[in-house]
Amino acid sequence: MTEGTFRVTTLGCKVNKADSVDIESRFVDSGLRRADRDEVPEFWVINTCAVTAAGLQKSRKTVRKCLKSGSKVIVTGCGVDFDRGAFDEMMPLGTFSNIEKGAIVSTVCEAAPWSTSGEFRFEAETCRLPLKIQDGCTHNCAYCVVPGLRISPWCLEKERVIDKVKFYKESGAGEIILCGIDIGSYLDVSSGVDLVELIESIRKEDIDIWIRLSSISPRDITGRLIGLFEKDKSLCRHMHLPLQSGDDGVLEDMKRGYSAREYLEKVEIVKEKVPDISITTDVLVGYPTEGEEAFDNTVEMVRKVGFSKVHVFKYSPRPGTDSFAMGDPVTGVEKKRRSRIVIDESRKTAGIFHASFIGRTVPVLVEEQSRGDRWRLLGRTEWYSRVNMIGPPCSVGRIVDVMIDGVEGSVLSGEIVSD
């Protein structure tokens, strides 16, 4: 174990990752160093997830593995809020709920509060950084445990968002991901600024950085937001719009607040105004009221929309949710079958989308070098597509033009032609 070092391991969503970035910055402000990959850190923070049973199981497994290393392990995140006792019994250095995350560093090593001192520098592979602008949710979808694990709805003031964007840019970030549990509800109560106005305010600062929106509800896709995508060329051409189901009955049971037709109409409007936009989504299979016909409607919706990526989750009953009383009638074997079908169908739609880039020159944010070949670089486009490319190592952290000459699955390949 190397004294004076730390590491933060994050499971789950981008909001968790954004919280982890803040924890890292506080550690650095306190005088600690981020541990190298081959070092065992003195302090090891595990930021857990509990959105599904699988996420909680993986979180517990990660904590046990880190405890075996000899590090002083600190556990935080939704797993702690969901079942604190399950982690306390592992005897880590401490457990901290989501609302207590800000006190982790000051508690374990008497650190200073978060600041923009300029001492913090991000690793090359973290040049895409999530920035939490909102937390909490009041929608209470029937299957979702998150509202009970997060704080009451809260939004970061516009000026603080802008300060953080500037700080992240100075620290080496090439892209920020504005994230939250329900970012469509963003409202700075002190200024009356909503999400669209927030993005416009960031742009007025003339900060040379890509802006990406994280998951946003179809309910929050407005003409103003679409117009912003049309006119702001530095706003990444990518929307993550959770679908969950393509069946009206299941969507109603889930309390999603939209129908399959309404979802499809929103997507069609977006694609009409921003033709080359990438649409990614989440699909939940095996919901208690999802019969075979309802599942077929979901598969058909995946085909119709032509998603560039689909995250598939298997339903798991979560205590405290409205759907918990419905039980879990869909077997694990059937959930696995349905998951595989959606994944296979989404790979087809993703392949069609990504094949359209062959022969085009597109901007790519270079994230890191390949471990096996320093001239082989890895990056991501504004459409959220992964890219393997050939180019000089000095390109890491920069946005470069890449001629796309191939695609394997949903990963593009090409060569840097200018930077």
Domain boundary among 236, 269, 296: 236
Q: Which amino acid, residue 337?
A: R
pLDDT for res 296 = 98
| pLDDT at residue 248 greater than cutoff 90 | yes
Identify which of 241, 279, 284, 285 has the alpha carbon closest to the alpha carbon of residue 263: 241
Q: What is the mean pLDDT of residues 184-195?
A: 96
pLDDT for res 397 = 83
302: in domain: no
What CATH number should be reported for the domain holding residue 174?
3.30.750.210
Strand partners, 412: 387, 407
| pLDDT at residue 259 greater than cutoff 90 | yes
Q: Are 391 and 364 in contact (CB under 8 A)?
A: no
Q: Are 130 and 17 in contact (CB under 8 A)?
A: yes
What CATH number should be reported for the domain holding residue 391?
2.40.50.140
Q: What is the mean pLDDT of residues 45-68?
A: 95
pLDDT for res 29 = 83
The per-residue pLDDT of the chain, averaged, comes to 91
Same domain, 97 and 150: no
Q: What is the mean pLDDT of residues 40-45?
A: 95
Q: Which amino acid, residue 176?
A: I
9: in domain: yes
Lowest model confidence (mean pLDDT) among 15-29, 106-120, 208-222, 363-377? 106-120
349: in domain: no
Same domain, 70 and 169: no
Q: Tally the domains of the chain.
A: 3
158: in domain: yes
Domain boundary among 182, 211, 236: 236
pLDDT-above-70 percentage for the chain: 95
Same domain, 130 and 216: yes
Domain boundary among 209, 236, 263: 236
CA dist list (Å): 219 to 146, 155, 188, 216, 228? 19, 19, 20, 8, 17
326: in domain: no
> Which tens digit of pLDDT belongs to each residue from 276-299?
999 999 999 999 999 999 999 999
Same domain, 134 and 200: yes
264: in domain: no
Range of the domain at 24: 2-109
pLDDT for res 262 = 97
Q: Are 402 and 389 in contact (CB under 8 A)?
A: yes
> Which tens digit of pLDDT belongs to each residue from 351-371?
999 999 999 999 999 988 777
411: in domain: yes
